[in-house]
Amino acid sequence: MRVIDSSALIKYFSREEGWERVREVMLEGVVTLDLAIKELSNALWKKVHRAEMSIDIARSILEDLITNKAIPIEGEDKYLDKAFDIALEHGLTVYDSLFIAMALKRNLDLITCDENQASIARKLGVKTITI
């Protein structure tokens, strides 16, 4: 099991370059935060708005994640204190810090496409897969 952040989920569901590698890692088992679903929803909205994705596909993705629970999703509240500390100490957003905090507290690897987030996670002792 690994923590997957918003950037990796967006890469996968938007079929951006490197999405196949995200799929490989997802098949090994991942967990994410509720925040990632909100960020993914916004990215899908942009794709639909720009006519890069049909609304039916976007809705299907969200239904799989939310209703069918294709990926375990946790609330972020229990990670917020640690995330806030990470954000203050390292100049990272609280949003990105939440995924690091989750990985730290659950002793899991982190999957991300964000080089800065990955670098800080590594400094904090989190094994990180950057895609």
Kindly calculate the radius of gyration of the chain based on its CA atoms and give it in whole angstroms.
14
Sign of CA dihedral 63, 65, 67, 68: positive
- Name the CATH superfamily housing domain 2-130: 5'-nuclease (3.40.50.1010)
Residue 65 has pLDDT above 90, yes or no: no
* pLDDT at position 84: 99
Q: DSSP label at 92?
A: -
User: Where is pLDDT greater, at 65 or 9?
Assistant: 9
* pLDDT at position 58: 95
Q: Is 117 exposed, middle or buried (0-12, 13-18, 19+ CB in 10 A)?
A: buried
* pLDDT at position 69: 83
What are the structural domain ranges in the chain?
Answer: 2-130
Backbone dihedral region for residue 53 (phi beyond 0: left; psi -120 to 50: alpha; all else: beta): beta
pLDDT in tens, 75-97: 999 999 999 999 999 999 999 99
* pLDDT at position 66: 86
Among 7, 16, 8, CA closest to 52: 16
